[in-house]
Structure 1
Amino acid sequence: MSTEPTRLREYLSVAIEAARRGAAELERWRTKFSVREKSRADLVTDADTASQKIVKDILLGAFPDHVFIGEEDSVGKSPEDVRPPSDAPPAWVVDPLDGTANYVHDVPAYCVSIGLWHAGKAIVGVILDPRQNELFSAADGLGAFLNDKPIRVSTVPGVTDGMISTGFPANYQKQLRNLEAWKKLTEHAQSLRRNGSTALSMAYVAAGRFDGYWAYDNYPWDVMAGAALIAEAGGVLSTTDGKPFDPYRPDLIAGNPGVHPELLGILLS
């Protein structure tokens, strides 16, 4: 399967159209959705499922031989459960509404996140924030952009001067590990943030707004698009034990080249 620049631009263009259509569906549902719990405090709305259907139809309509991995089709599965075989065609990995709790409470920090995985790499990433009208986009070797303007990770030299973000899972028991990490980093970072959307947090790292990000309980649809953005914006990604980044593992650290190794060292200490 070709990943030459012309083909990548085609993938990116269709992903942007899918994100725009999915985001429009979120906004159409914003005042009339109903809410269900997948598990305690883990919410899903009519808007999630409606957005995913539109995104899926557009992506597979354009690329019928591709794989589609959507959050709303994967309830109860682990990240490893949805890993495509090594010889699989390109796989679209989609969160049709990242930041569902924010959306439910009308907090303007949610997005549509679309990533494309092929040959062991995130090769396309699109994250669209409809409330701020911000479109983050990237493709392998073609750069990262915010509303068509190039973006780069920050130049903050280390954690001491950095704004570091994280994400907490819905499950309380799983939150405890991250609370310990938060406590540890409070001694080092200039400031810590939790905005309720992993995809937006990673987009902000790519744009130089946040200087680093860590989390222990992600899913591939949370991080795939953001990984493509951060890599193209000059950032560094890894697992929380320093191994190469793998979106089908639940843990990650991301940051600019100065912050990432220091953040890794603090979390491992």
Structure 2
Amino acid sequence: MLDPTTLEDYLAAAEEAARRAAVVLHEWRKRFQVREKSPADLVTDADVASQTLIKAYLQERFPGHGFLGEEGAEIDPVTRELKPLPADAPPTWIVDPIDGTANYVHDVPFYCISIGLWLQGDLRVGVVYDPRMNEMFSAAQGLGAKLNGEPIHVSPITTLRESMLSTGFPADPTRSMKNVNWWRKFTERTQSLRRTGSTALNMAYVAAGRFDAYWAFDNFVWDVAGGVVLVREAGGQITLVDGGAYDPFRYDIIATNGAIHAECLEVLKDPPENL
């Protein structure tokens, strides 16, 4: 059993780390340098500064904890695989210092700081902080999900036709085309679709009932680590796109309000033409 008091302490630390990182992002706006990790996949000085601050703060608070951040993570250049954390790994903070870097670079106010905690073989704490809207989405296992301290829940929508879905596209244009076909397929079956540029905010919005579902095929664990606990604690459902048990170290995900999950899976199991 996880001690609620301990989880609350971890959650408060993640919130504070996110707030401090937001100050860094604000200070770096308009003066950062941009480079490409790969074509169209951007990283800035602000990403690095944000991650450095978060890591220092959390490791000072919890010296025995591990840390996995997007910047500097060891990804196989050929397979694009990231070695999963074992179930018996020490508590490990998983951080995206700016989720939605392209938005940040272009001063589009839709980016965030995402922090999750891997503990006893699963994600147990999640924080997604949108500094431009001053919205702190936070959750810990068994303690519910909140937005700025107030409880949030997934939407009551019960049919795909009534729903608003969001998705994400990878920077690589070849891999991106796969989801273009799925976008077309969901367009025919939903009320509306959105592409925001931030996985973590997409998942936070599912938790808050703003979006009814989110799907994607190309996420790393730091993209989802803050949002997984949010969706679960808000009453939602998360699986792989084939309906299998969710693994945050796999690339694909479908996160929904639960009520339309089966309907989403039906669409995803029927590949569109030209996939």
TM-score range, shorter chain: over 0.9
Match of 1:247 in 2: 248
Q: Counterparts of 2:208 and 2:87 in 1: how far apart (Å)?
A: 31
Please list every run of at least 4 consecutive aligned residues from structure 1 whose deviation after the TM superposition is greater than 6 angstroms: none
C-alpha deviations, 1:119-146, integer Å up to 9, x for none?
Answer: 2221000010000000000000000000
Task: Give the SS at the match of 1:73.
Answer: coil
CA contact (8 A) 1:79 1:250 kept: no
Match of 1:201 in 2: 202
Match of 1:170 in 2: 171
Structure 1 residue 79 displacement after superposition: 7.3
Match of 2:52 in 1: 53
Match of 1:160 in 2: 161
CA contact (8 A) 2:87 2:122 kept: no
| Superposition map of 1:21-170 within 5 A | 21-74=20-73, 76-77=75-76, 80-170=81-171
Q: Counterparts of 2:68 and 2:262 in 1: how far apart (Å)?
A: 31
Structure 1 residue 3 displacement after superposition: 2.7
CA contact (8 A) 1:79 1:249 kept: no
Q: Counterparts of 1:93 and 1:141 in 2: how far apart (Å)?
A: 20
Q: Give the structure-2-normalised TM-score.
A: 0.95
Match of 1:258 in 2: 259
CA contact (8 A) 2:218 2:252 kept: yes
CA contact (8 A) 1:69 1:82 kept: no
Q: How many residues are matched? A: 268
Match of 2:18 in 1: 19
Letter in 1 for 2:146: F
Quote the RMSD (CA, aligned, Å): 1.2
Match of 1:9 in 2: 8
Q: Counterparts of 2:156 and 2:178 in 1: how far apart (Å)?
A: 29
Task: Give the SS at the match of 1:72.
Answer: coil
Identity across matched positions, percent: 56
Structure 1 residue 40 displacement after superposition: 0.4
Structure 1 residue 80 displacement after superposition: 4.9
C-alpha deviations, 1:158-214, integer Å up to 9, x for none?
Answer: 211000000000000111111111011111010000000000000000000000000
Q: Give the structure-1-normalised TM-score.
A: 0.97
Q: Counterparts of 1:158 and 1:133 in 2: how far apart (Å)?
A: 31
Task: Give the SS at the match of 2:116.
Answer: strand
Q: Counterparts of 1:174 and 1:19 in 2: how far apart (Å)?
A: 31
